[in-house]
Structure 1
Amino acid sequence: MSRLTVFGLIMGVALALAGCKPSAPTPQVFKTQTDALEKAKGVEQQLQQAQDKAKAAEDEQQK
């Protein structure tokens, strides 16, 4: 392709993109599900910490 053709294509794409408006933020369709998932991850972390404490206490008693 010639340089003029490439330049024309680049300018056409640039003009097309310049005319675009930024899109609106996407709606939170799955917000309740993601909130529930985050809450479950928090509960899982709390349970893991409680299990670690219980194991440490058990190990301490065996000494």
Structure 2
Amino acid sequence: MMRSAVIGLSLAAAALALAGCKPSAPPPQIFKAQTDALEKAKGVEKQLQDEQVKHSAEEAEQEK
């Protein structure tokens, strides 16, 4: 019983060691166009929010 556990753990360790040696393939770029568009939209949203904050600060300064 103990011997089979040791063998099993040894095989698992060997499998992990061998799996770590394989070069990983780059992830597929299936949704590249969509992710690029999403990143661009996030950038535009950030710019709009920054402009809104700036505009609000200018209005508050004028009211003083």
Which TM-score band (shorter chain)? 0.7 to 0.9
What is the aligned partner in structure 2 of residue 52 from structure 1?
53
In structure 1, stretches of 5+ residues that fail to align are none
Return the alpha-carbon distance in structure 1 between the equivalents of residues 42 and 58 of structure 2: 24
In structure 2, stretches of 5+ residues that fail to align are none
Which protein is richer in helix relative to its size? 2
TM-score, scaled to structure 2: 0.79
What is the aligned partner in structure 2 of residue 6 from structure 1?
5
| RMSD between superposed Cα atoms in Å | 1.6
What is the aligned partner in structure 2 of residue 27 from structure 1?
28
Given the alignment of the two structures, is residue 38 of structure 1 paired with residue 39 of structure 2, yes or no?
yes
The number of residues matched between the two structures is 62
Paired-residue identity, %: 56
What is the aligned partner in structure 2 of residue 61 from structure 1?
62
Return the alpha-carbon distance in structure 2 between the equivalents of residues 9 and 34 of structure 1: 43
